Structure 1
Amino acid sequence: MLGSLAALAALAVIGDRPSLVTVVEWIDYETLALLFGMMVLVAIFSETGFFDYCAVKAYQLSRGRVWPMIMILCLIAAILSAFLDNVTTMMLFTPVTIRLCEVLNLDPRHVLIAEVIFTNIGGAATAVGDPPNVIIVSNQDLRKEGIDFASFTGYMFLGICLVLLTSFPFLRLLYWNKKLYNKESIEIVELKHEILVWRQTAQRINPASREETAVKCLLMQKVLNLESLLRKMMKTFQSQISQEDKNWEQNIQELQKKHRITDKVLLVKCVSVLGVVIFMFFLNSFVPSIHLELGWIAILGALWLLVLADIQDFEIILHRVEWATLLFFAALFVLMEALAQLQLIDYIGEQTALLIKAVPEDQRLAIAIILVMWVSALASSLIDNIPFTATMIPVLINLSQDADVNLPIKPLIFALAMGACLGGNGTLIGASANVVCAGIAEQHGYGFSFIEFFRLGFPMMIMTCMIGMCYLLATHIGLGWNM
Structure 2
Amino acid sequence: MTLLAWAAVAVFTVAYILIATEKIHRVAAAMGGAAVMLLIGATDAHHAFFDEHTGIDWNVIFLLLGMMLIVAVMKRTGGFEYVAIWAAKKAKGKPFRIMVILVLVTAVASAFLDNVTTVMLIAPVTFLVCDRLGVKAIPFLIAEALASNIGGAATLVGDPPNIIIASRAGLTYNDFLIHMAPIVILLMIVFVGLCRWLFRKSFTYDPAKAEKVMQLNEKDAIKDFRLLIISLGVLALVTAAFVLHTVLHLEPSVVAMVGGLLLLALSRLDAEAVAKDVEWPTLIFFAGLFIMVGALVNTGVIGQISTAATNAVGGQLWPATLVLLWGSAFLSAIVDNIPYVATMSPIVADLVAGFPDGKGNVLWWALALGADLGGNATAIGASANVVILGMAERAGKRISFWEFTKYGLIVAVITIALCVPYLWLRYFAFA
The 5 Å alignment of 1:109-258 reads: 110-111=139-140, 113-127=142-156, 129=158, 133-137=159-163, 139=164, 143-147=167-171, 151-152=175-176, 155-174=179-198, 178=201, 180-181=203-204, 245=207, 248=210, 250-254=212-216, 256=218
Q: Once the 2 structures are TM-superposed, how far is the Cα of residue 351 of structure 1 from its aligned partner?
A: 1.0
Instruction: Give the whole-Å Cα distance in 1 for the aligned partners of 2:340 and 2:199.
Output: 36
Q: Deviations over 1:335-384 (max 9, x none)?
A: 55554443334322321221121xxx5xx333233223223334444x3x
Instruction: Please point out which of 32, 47, 50 is paired with 1:25.
Output: 50
Counterpart of 1:277 in structure 2 is: 238
Task: Look up the match of 1:240.
Answer: none
Q: Hey, what does 1:391 align to over in structure 2?
A: 340
For residues 254 and 393 of structure 2, the distance between their equivalents in structure 1, rounded to whole angstroms, comes to 33
Bigger drift between 64-73 and 270-279 goes to 64-73
Partners of 1:325 and 1:136 in 2: CA distance: 22
What corresponds to 1:44 in structure 2?
73
SS in 2 for 1:85: helix
Q: Gapped runs of 5+ residues in structure 2?
A: 1-30
Q: Which amino acid aligns with 1:253?
A: Q
- Cα deviation digits, residues 141-200 of structure 1 (max 9, x gap): 851421466654665444322211232234335567x47326xxx6xxxxxxxxxxxxxx
The answer to whether the Cα contact below 8 Å between 2:62 and 2:256 also exists between their aligned partners in 1 is yes
CA separation of 1:355 and 1:26: change in aligned 2, threshold 3 A: same
Q: What corresponds to 1:369 in structure 2? A: 321
Over 3 Å counting, the alpha-carbon distance change for 1:345 and 1:146 in structure 2 is same
Change (3 A) 1:332 1:69: closer
Match of 1:398, SS?
Answer: helix
Q: Cα distance 1:62–1:325, how it changes in 2: closer, same or farther (>3 A)?
A: closer
Query: Number of residues paired by the alignment?
Result: 389
Tell me which of 52, 64, 73 is aligned to 2:102.
73
Q: 1:345 to 1:145 in 2, by over 3 A?
A: same
CA deviation after TM superposition for structure 1 residue 281, in Å: 2.9
1:262 to 2:285 alignment: no
Q: CA separation in 1, counterparts of 2:47 and 2:375?
A: 33
Question: Which residue of structure 1 aligns with residue 307 of structure 2?
Answer: 350
Q: Would you say 1:420 and 2:371 are equivalent positions?
A: yes
| Cα drift, residue 32 of structure 1 | 3.5
TM-score (norm 2): 0.72
Correspondence 1:99 to 2:125: no
Question: Offset of 1:411 from its aligned partner?
Answer: 3.9
* Cα separation, 2, equivalents of 1:451 and 1:295: 31
8 Å Cα contact 1:63-1:248 kept in structure 2:
yes
Question: 1: distance between equivalents of 2:288 and 2:137?
Answer: 36
TM-aligned CA distance change 1:327 to 1:367, over 3 Å? same
Q: Aligned residues: percent identity?
A: 29
Is the Cα contact below 8 Å between 2:150 and 2:184 reproduced in 1?
yes
Map of 1:466 onto structure 2: 417
| CA separation of 1:322 and 1:142: change in aligned 2, threshold 3 A | same
Corresponding residue of 2:24: none
Contact 2:294 2:339 in 1 (8 A): no
CA–CA distance in 2 between the matches of 1:324 and 1:378? 26
- Pick from 308, 311, 317: which aligns with 2:268? 311
Return the offset for 1:56: 1.4
C-alpha deviation, 1:123, in angstroms: 4.1
Runs of 4+ in 1 over 6 A off after TM superposition: 447-452
> 1:97-146: CA deviations, max 9, x gaps?
322432xxx566655554444344334445555xxx32552x4x851421
Report the alpha carbon displacement of residue 57 of structure 1 after superposing the two structures with TM.
Answer: 1.1
Residues 1:31 and 1:438: Cα distance change in structure 2 (over 3 Å): closer
Whole-angstrom CA distance in 2 between matches of 1:321 and 1:54: 22
Compared with structure 1, are the counterparts of its residues 46 and 334 closer, same or farther at alpha carbon in structure 2 (3 Å cutoff)?
same
Q: Which runs of 5 or more residues in structure 1 are unaligned?
A: 187-244
Equivalent position amino acid for 2:239 in 1:
I
The verdict on how the C-alpha distance between 1:94 and 1:434 changes in structure 2, with shifts beyond 3 A counting, is same
Q: What amino acid sits opposite 1:57 in the alignment?
A: W
The alpha-carbon distance between structure 1 residues 437 and 277, as it changes in their structure 2 partners (threshold 3 A), is: closer
Contact 1:349 1:396 survives alignment (8 Å):
no
Q: Which amino acid in 2 is paired with 1:320?
A: D
Determine the structure 1 residue equivalent to 2:386: 432
TM norm structure 1: 0.66
- Residues 242 and 252, structure 2, Cα contact 8 Å, conserved in 1: yes
Larger Rg: 1
Q: Distance in 2 between matches of 1:319 and 1:302?
A: 14
For 2:350 and 2:157, how far apart are their aligned partners in 1?
Answer: 27
Partner residue of 1:193? none
Distance 1:295 1:372 in 2: 28
Paired position in structure 1 for 2:260: 302
After superposition, the CA RMSD in angstroms is: 4.0
Secondary structure class of the residue paired with 1:51: helix
